Amino acid sequence: MATKKITFDPEAGVAYSCDLIMNVGADFTANFEVVNTANTGYNFGTTNSVGIATTTGWTGSSQMTKSAAIGSTAFPNATFTVGFTSATSGKFKISLGSTDTRSLKDGRYVYDVLVGSGATVYRIIDGNILVRGGVSSAP
């Protein structure tokens, strides 16, 4: 999947909306590049005493579920793995393995991504995920 470039302004207090597509039974990864309002990479990292960039203090979490209005209790939910691929350049990804996507039913889901440092947590991204079921099965 191509990298989605988003602008993050913590002062705005509004998540960036980004819709995704996922296939049942396949590995899923969505890459994001976060920039600030000056269009430079958002720094989710810190630099330690010897000048090496780390993600110390920053964490991420992300989940998807059916919309409550659609009867979400009848559908499985999923928790993504969130990984900073270049924290000081604002790059991270969310992913689910094929075992996790295999248990999903096709349809429209909602998701969000939270990032935080200490007691401060930002809802940075939200949107819809279209989960598509397959027609054929693997040999």
Q: Per the structure, how many domains does the chain have?
A: 1
Residue 102 lies in a domain: yes
Does residue 103 form part of some domain?
A: yes
Q: Report the pLDDT value the prediction gives residue 54, as an integer from 0 to 100.
A: 57
Q: Residue 95: in which H helix or E strand, if any? A: strand 91-96
Distance in angstroms (rounded) separating the CA atoms of residues 130 and 72: 15
- CB-based contact 30:94 (threshold 8 Å): yes
Residue 1: per-residue pLDDT: 62
Q: Which residues of the chain have pLDDT under 50?
A: none
Pairing state between β 16-17 and 120-132: parallel
Give the residue numbers spanning the domain of 23. 4-132
Residue 15, domain CATH: 2.60.40.3350
